[in-house]
Structure 1
Amino acid sequence: MRQFGWPRGVAGAAAGWVMAHRGSNRERNRWVVSLLDLRPTDRVLEVGFGPGIAVGEMARVAGQVYGVDHSSVMLRAARRRNAAAVRAGRVSLFHAPVDRLPGLTGLDVIVSVNSLGFWPEPGERLRELRGLLRDGGRIALASQPRCLGASAETTERAGRELSELLAAAGFVDLRTETLELAPPVACILGTNRL
């Protein structure tokens, strides 16, 4: 299970393959991207891009997609998966943890799918991310709990926790969307108002 949080070596590559090919993972990422209402002028950052599924979906619409992931194994996988968009300069992916982001500002959208649980001090990280968004910029945090016995109640609890973290970081106009998988996925969307 640790390999899904921080993929390393051969076992990490295998975990990345599972993440990229599991139907529920692909559906979850596509669904989250569909909630973003992306425009061709948007500059988007994904924190914890894993094998790059959402990066590829966002690159079809957004003008520029950036991504950070603390796993070099996932960086290689995501660059391969999105090689054409990387070569075209529409996708830039970085090997960096969330607490040491590259110098990005004026972003339109920030998204993170099932990675916040691996962040050090998530509340502080969310405040830092808010500082990277333009006025009116949007954030989306998605969680599909993967713990043993996860249920709709587990997802509801995770959604409430994400919502509370976003509110404490200063995001407004929070709303929750749910995708009925087993277990369900909660996506909390918010807006940055300066």
Structure 2
Amino acid sequence: MSGFGAVGARLYAWFNRHPETNRAVVDLAELRAGETVLEVGCGPGMALELAAQRTGAEHAAAVDPSETFVAMARKRVPRADVRVAGAEDVPFPDASFAAIYTLASMHHWDDRDAGLLTLAAKLAPGGRLLLAERLLDRPGHGITPAQLGEVSARLADVGQTGVRTVQRRIGRRTLAVIVSERPVTA
């Protein structure tokens, strides 16, 4: 995905502000002070700001393919390490993060399997991966029950353990979060 342009990014950020959703995902990640955390598809950085409040901004990182979103996130959380990249090409060393989360971005990825493989590799042993999407009846800007099954199976295939789905009702929508862990030992 090449990302949103400047005008598109600002409109998307304005019309898709969901503080309750951001908070729900950050809460589910169970972030602790000093833990390294990565947000993939950070948009304007609203959830990144919440994560940085829990871990310390110097322990927070994010990627987004949109230069405009990266600039917005850097402004919102100046001490976080925010870079232009997609899920398939995260520019951080393997085994770097105690927690990685995405929020309404997986449906934008160019290559979902490559993104899942990359994110699993970036987790430290025992690290947590959370993939959050709006639950839908049919394919679109979110995830369907069938797609939940496909993603969960793929995570198990790449060695993630404890794969499960947590659902949260937020307003009139249901948030589906696939949670998994990287094994402590290979």
TM range (shorter): 0.7 to 0.9
What SS does the corresponding residue of 1:7 show, helix, strand or coil? coil
* Amino acid paired to 2:84: H
Q: Partners in 1 of 2:62 and 2:166 — Cα distance? A: 23
2:91 paired residue number: 102
Q: Partners in 1 of 2:85 and 2:175 — Cα distance? A: 26
For residue 51 of structure 1, the aligned residue among 41, 44, 69 is 44
Q: Partners in 1 of 2:23 and 2:100 — Cα distance? A: 15
Q: Residue 10 in 1 paired to residue 3 in 2?
A: no
What SS does the corresponding residue of 2:87 show, helix, strand or coil? coil
Task: Output aligned runs, 1:43-192, within 5 Å.
Answer: 43-63=36-56, 64-82=59-77, 86=78, 89=79, 91-105=80-94, 106-145=96-135, 155-181=144-170, 182-192=172-182
For residue 26 of structure 2, the aligned residue among 33, 37, 49 is 33
Cα 1:123/1:148, change in 2 over 3 Å = closer
Instruction: Give per-residue Cα distances to partners, 1:30-87, cap 9 Å, x unaligned.
Output: 10110111111210111100111110110011141110000011112212222xxx2x
Q: Partners in 2 of 1:174 and 1:61 — Cα distance? A: 24
1:40–1:62 Cα contact (<8 Å) kept:
yes
2:64–2:70 Cα contact (<8 Å) kept:
yes
Task: Report percent identity of matched pairs.
Answer: 28
Q: CA deviation at 1:175?
A: 1.9
Q: CA RMSD in A?
A: 2.4
Q: CA deviation at 1:136?
A: 0.6
Instruction: Give per-residue Cα distances to partners, 1:150-170, cap 9 Å, x unaligned.
Output: 8xxx65344333322322222
Q: Partners in 2 of 1:148 and 1:53 — Cα distance? A: 27
Unaligned runs of 5+ in 1: none
Q: Partners in 2 of 1:30 and 1:141 — Cα distance? A: 14
Q: CA deviation at 1:16?
A: 1.7
TM-score normalised according to structure 1 size: 0.81
Q: Partners in 2 of 1:128 and 1:14 — Cα distance? A: 29
Q: Partners in 2 of 1:59 and 1:189 — Cα distance? A: 20
Number of paired residues? 178
Cα 1:70/1:149, change in 2 over 3 Å = closer
What SS does the corresponding residue of 2:173 show, helix, strand or coil? coil
